[in-house]
Structures are given as structure tokens and as C-alpha cells.
Amino acid sequence: MSISHTIEKDYRLNLKLQSMMEIAVIESKLSTCEKLKVGGILTSNDFTIKSSGCNGAPSGYPHCKILNEPDNHSAIFEVHAENNLLSRCNWIPAQNESSYIFLTHLPCMSCAHIIVTNVNRLRIKKLYYNDVYIDNDSSYDKYRKPSSVVSFLKDSGIEVIKL
């Protein structure tokens, strides 16, 4: 393989990765949460989109409009993007297929558990993310730190890549 062919192949792969992340960002714009808009997509290893999701209030609940309100049920019961995209996915990979997840933000530990629960069913091999969200309003224990989330996903066989 020539150097120019390798450079072209790398360029095309990077273009695909950036395009998938842009689609995740577009999905995040559908979020009903004002505090943080998160979006994600699940693709096959050939980058065919199989599912998508964003965070927001569950069906039938009011969308969050005013933050830090004690009665803000949508903030309390908000469904995360990862949960939405995985629960909507009814695709089963063929034997030679695997899947990738593209998220606008690194998942929280609860969502990492949901992702790991689906590792075998969806053959999730890679998780790409764009940003890390840290809630400065709450104290993070060791378990909830972004580095703990990354370690947990990697220990489960998922390659974690920041774009």
C-alpha cells in the first residue's frame, strides 16, 4: 500500500467519523432539555446509522424550561440520549458486523452501564464522544468521575475515543 493511498484512507475515515459526530450534534438539537443538549447515534461498522436519540423529558411530562425549580419533573425524570438510542434500536448485527456509538458527551456512569449491558447484543466496539460534562452543582464521587466511566467502558471491551 502506497503512502498516498494510506493518507487518502485515513482522510476518508476521519471524514466519516466527523460526519457521524455532526449527525449526533444535529440529534442533540432535538433535545428538550435546556441545561444540556445531548445527542447520539448508533452505527454499524460501515457507518450505516441504526438508531439515534437525544435527552429530554419522557412522553407526557412537561419539557424543562426553568432550571433549578423544585417541581421540575423533567429534570428529575429526564431520559438520557444513550437510553433513548439503545432502547429504540431493534437492529441485530450480522456475525461479521459490529457497532459504534457517537455521543456529543461522554456518558454518565448509569448510561455506561446501559451501554455495557448492550455490548454483546449490539457488538459495540467503539464509543466516540465530543465533550465531557461535569455538573459543578454536585460533588462527584470517585465512581462518577469521567475517568471512571472511561475505565469501566474500556474494561468492558469498548474502545473510547474523544474526537
pLDDT along the chain (163 residues), means of 10: 74 95 97 89 97 89 61 67 94 92 95 96 97 68 78 97 96
Residue 57's pLDDT is 83
pLDDT of residue 32: 85
* Amino acid 60: pLDDT: 78
Give the chain's length: 163
Residues 6+ apart with CB under 8 A from 146: 106, 132, 134
Q: How far is CA 131 from CA 21, 77, 98, in A?
A: 11, 23, 24
Topology of the domain comprising 3-162: Cytidine Deaminase; domain 2 (3.40.140)
| pLDDT score of 95 | 87
Distance of CA 24 to the CA centre of its chain: 8
Taking a C-beta distance cutoff of 8 angstroms, is the pair 114, 86 a contact?
yes
Query: Taking the domains of the chain in order of start, what are their residue ranges?
Result: 3-162
* Residue among 17, 51, 56 at smallest CA distance from 38: 56
Exposure class string for 18-29: b at 16+ Cβ within 10 A, else e: eebbebbbebbe
Report how far residue 148's alpha carbon sits from residue 140's, in angstroms, rounded to the nearest whole number.
11
Cα 43 → chain centroid: 11
- Note the pLDDT of residue 124: 97
Across the beta sheet with 159-162, the strand order is: 49-54, 39-44, 99-105, 124-131, 159-162
What local confidence, expressed as pLDDT, does residue 34 receive? 78
